[in-house]
């Protein structure tokens, strides 16, 4: 089609140039795991290869495609924007769209969260919040949680806990420390020192899909207020409907000092993130005319990102995706609990809305346990591939190992249907049944990867980023 001529690639094999110019190790790992498909079209919950084979996406690019791929309303809004020749990149200027998007986000947050800074990614929203918290509090230290993930730029990396991401990149930001998630005593012990600018925390820990204890966040809010520490709620993955509420903070009726959002705001198209805080906090940092430009980004509120964000919120409101997500999440969790009763390989099931994880357990027989140990010795995070690979290879369903653990994370697009949930549960049932045969193909595949890994290559590099 002539109108799309600039979107046509001359390269039939996407992995050849990626291997040459981008990240050859990642390309190698994708090959080992069999994920190196050439998808040529994405629509809604499905990805299609050139021969028309359809793959059901139950990961949605870690929440990037929360509204499904290439949602027609977002696409239309972006085409209209391009055809309107709107201004952009004029730094001393505000478009109406940026104000409208800020207003639309704030409409779904507690009313005191009403001051917004737009970024190009999640990690930049984290950076902005850390800077604002330090500046407004005048305090140096930053607390975060064990197993927490907040991004990979230096500030965000400094409050991310896993050494996998940090090793070799130090020294990191001084004054950063972690406490265990769900542990109020350890949190209070640090807050009491009254030198902590902010406690940054994910509502549900994305790397392990760990949900908070029921009273945890209400107490966290109280403790942070008591000791003058700002509470930063990193809703980059949970925000905008993912957990069956507009923002996860609604589950516990709390009002953090900062909320961070990105991923779903993109509509599956544009890089965009936002830090939302209270106006008095914002004004403490940008406190004079001279300081009006101290927090700034060239692309931060570019027209296409603002329009994609506005269209995304409109779609969520019109399609009532938050309510639908709550219902679908219940179906998915109920189905997984049923499978847990049937298959001992599933140790636990957890999640909220359509952010769901299930953890695999150690098999019962001695022989399987020996293989299990070898697989873990090869790479923490490899074992879930026992299920992820056949789901992809045999049932054409995309899921992901969650992190350095035995958890498989499910983040289906919020536009998924009950039929998609049933399709997934039936496929998972078949995969788990086939995993009962320790001499079968699934165990052999993973065992071979483990042996190969111990020989040098590390498939653990393929995992979700959070
Ligand atoms: C909770 C959380 N915070 C921050 C980030 C970083 O966002 P980005 O990858 O857009 O920089 C992520 C990404 O996965 C995330 O899940």
CATH number of the domain bearing residue 288: 3.40.640.10
Say if residue 269 is in the same domain as residue 295.
Answer: yes
Select from 122, 129, 243, 400 the residue to mutate for testing ligand 1; criterion: most ligand atoms less than 8 Å from CB: 122
- Dist. CA 216 → ligand 1 center (Å): 22
The pLDDT tens digits of the residues spanning 181-218 come to: 999 999 999 999 999 999 999 999 999 999 999 999 99
* pLDDT (0 to 100) of residue 314: 98
The pLDDT tens digits of the residues spanning 22-35 come to: 999 999 999 999 99
Say if residue 303 is in the same domain as residue 336.
Answer: no
Q: Whose CA is nearest to atom 13 of ligand 1?
A: 466
Domain-terminating residue out of 263, 294, 318: 318
- Dist. CA 149 → ligand 1 center (Å): 7
Select from 236, 259, 402 the residue to mutate for testing ligand 1; criterion: most ligand atoms less than 8 Å from CB: 236
What is the pTM (predicted TM-score) of this model?
Answer: 0.96
CATH assignment at residue 49 = 3.90.1150.10
CB of 122 sitting under 6 A from ligand 1? yes
List strand residue ranges (DSSP E) for 15-131, in order: 39-43, 46-49, 54-57, 113-119
CB of 149 sitting under 6 A from ligand 1? yes
In a domain? residue 466: no
Say if residue 278 is in the same domain as residue 353.
Answer: no
Say if residue 310 is in the same domain as residue 176.
Answer: yes
Select from 275, 463, 466 the residue to mutate for testing ligand 1; criterion: most ligand atoms less than 8 Å from CB: 466
Select from 150, 158, 243 the residue to mutate for testing ligand 1; criterion: most ligand atoms less than 8 Å from CB: 150
Say if residue 179 is in the same domain as residue 277.
Answer: yes
* pLDDT (0 to 100) of residue 459: 45
- Dist. CA 298 → ligand 1 center (Å): 20
In a domain? residue 3: no
pLDDT per residue, tens digit, the chain (466 aa), is 445 777 777 777 889 999 999 999 999 999 999 999 999 999 999 999 989 999 999 999 999 999 999 999 999 999 999 999 998 888 888 889 999 999 999 999 999 999 999 999 999 999 999 999 999 999 999 999 999 999 999 999 999 999 999 999 999 999 999 999 999 999 999 999 999 999 999 999 999 999 999 999 999 999 999 999 999 999 999 999 999 999 999 999 999 999 999 999 999 999 999 999 999 999 999 999 999 999 999 999 999 999 999 999 999 999 999 999 999 999 999 999 999 999 999 999 999 999 999 999 988 777 778 888 889 999 889 999 999 999 999 999 999 999 999 999 999 999 999 999 999 999 999 999 999 988 899 999 998 999 888 875 444 544 444 3
CB of 151 sitting under 6 A from ligand 1? yes
Say if residue 195 is in the same domain as residue 132.
Answer: yes
Say if residue 199 is in the same domain as residue 305.
Answer: yes
Domain-terminating residue out of 287, 318, 349: 318
DSSP, residue by residue, 204-265: SBTTTTBPPPTTHHHHHHHHHHHHTPEEEEE-TTTTTTTTSSSSGGGGTT---SEEEE-GGG
CB of 237 sitting under 6 A from ligand 1? yes
In a domain? residue 187: yes
In a domain? residue 441: yes
Domain that holds residue 276: 73-318
* pLDDT (0 to 100) of residue 84: 94
Instruction: State the total domains in the chain.
Output: 2
3-state secondary structure of 76: helix
Say if residue 347 is in the same domain as residue 447.
Answer: yes
In a domain? residue 113: yes
Say if residue 253 is in the same domain as residue 311.
Answer: yes
Are β-strands 113-119 and 141-145 bridged in parallel, bridged antiparallel, or unpaired? unpaired
* pLDDT (0 to 100) of residue 184: 98
In a domain? residue 45: yes
Say if residue 305 is in the same domain as residue 395.
Answer: no
Q: Which helix (H) or strand (E) holds 141?
A: strand 141-145
Domain-terminating residue out of 318, 336, 368: 318
* pLDDT (0 to 100) of residue 3: 56
* 250-to-176, 238, 244, 315, 356 alpha-carbon distances in Å: 28, 11, 10, 20, 18
In a domain? residue 281: yes
State which ligand 1 atom lies nearest to the alpha carbon of 123: 11
Say if residue 89 is in the same domain as residue 229.
Answer: yes
CB-CB contact of 339 with 429 (8 Å): yes
In a domain? residue 1: no
CB of 62 sitting under 6 A from ligand 1? yes
Q: Whose CA is nearest to atom 14 of ligand 1?
A: 466
* 449-to-92, 420, 458 alpha-carbon distances in Å: 54, 30, 9
Say if residue 288 is in the same domain as residue 388.
Answer: no
């Amino acid at each position: 089609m002539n109108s799309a001529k600039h979107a046509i690639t001359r390269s039939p094999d996407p992995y050849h140039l990626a291997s040459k110019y981008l990240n050859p190790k990642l390309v190698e790992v994708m090959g080992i795991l069999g994920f190196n498909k050439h998808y040529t079209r994405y629509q809604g919950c499905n990805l299609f290869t050139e021969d028309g084979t359809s793959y059901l996406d139950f990961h949605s690019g870690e929440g990037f495609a929360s509204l499904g791929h290439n949602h027609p309303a977002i696409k239309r809004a972006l085409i209209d924007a391009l055809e309107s020749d709107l201004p952009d990149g004029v730094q001393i200027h505000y478009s109406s769209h940026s104000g409208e998007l800020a207003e639309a986000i704030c409409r779904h947050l507690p009313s005191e969260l009403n001051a917004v800074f737009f970024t190009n990614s999640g990690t930049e929203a984290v950076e902005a919040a850390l800077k604002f918290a330090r500046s407004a509090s005048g305090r140096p230290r930053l607390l975060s949680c064990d197993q927490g993930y907040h991004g990979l730029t230096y500030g965000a990396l400094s409050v991310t806990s896993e050494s996998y991401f940090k090793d070799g990149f130090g020294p990191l930001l001084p004054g950063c420390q972690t406490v265990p998630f769900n542990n109020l005593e350890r949190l209070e012990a640090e807050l009491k020192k009254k030198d902590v600018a902010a406690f940054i925390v994910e509502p549900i820990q994305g790397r392990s899909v760990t949900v908070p204890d029921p009273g945890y966040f209400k107490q966290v809010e109280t403790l942070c207020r008591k000791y003058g520490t700002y509470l930063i709620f990193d809703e980059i993955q949970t925000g905008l409907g993912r957990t069956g509420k507009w923002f996860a903070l609604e589950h516990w009726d709390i009002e953090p000092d900062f909320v961070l959002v990105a991923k779903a705001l993109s509509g599956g198209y544009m890089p965009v993130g936002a830090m939302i805080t209270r106006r008095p906090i914002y004004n403490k940092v940008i406190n004079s005319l001279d300081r009006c430009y101290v927090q700034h980004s060239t692309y931060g509120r570019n027209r296409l990102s603002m329009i994609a964000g506005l269209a995304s919120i409109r779609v969520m409101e019109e399609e009532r995706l938050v309510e639908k997500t709550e219902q679908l999440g219940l179906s998915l969790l109920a189905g997984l609990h049923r499978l847990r009763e049937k298959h001992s390989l599933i140790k636990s099931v957890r999640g909220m809305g359509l952010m769901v994880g299930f953890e695999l357990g150690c098999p019962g027989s001695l022989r399987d346990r020996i293989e299990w140990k070898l697989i873990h010795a090869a790479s923490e995070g490899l074992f879930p591939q026992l299920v992820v690979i056949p789901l992809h290879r045999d049932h054409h369903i995309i899921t992901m190992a969650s992190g350095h653990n035995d958890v498989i994370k499910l983040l289906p697009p919020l536009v998924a249907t009950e039929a998609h949930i049933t399709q997934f549960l039936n496929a998972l049932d078949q995969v788990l049944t086939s995993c009962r045969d320790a001499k079968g193909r699934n165990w052999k595949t993973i065992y071979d990867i483990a042996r190969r890994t111990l020989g040098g290559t590390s498939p653990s590099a393929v995992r979700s980023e959070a």
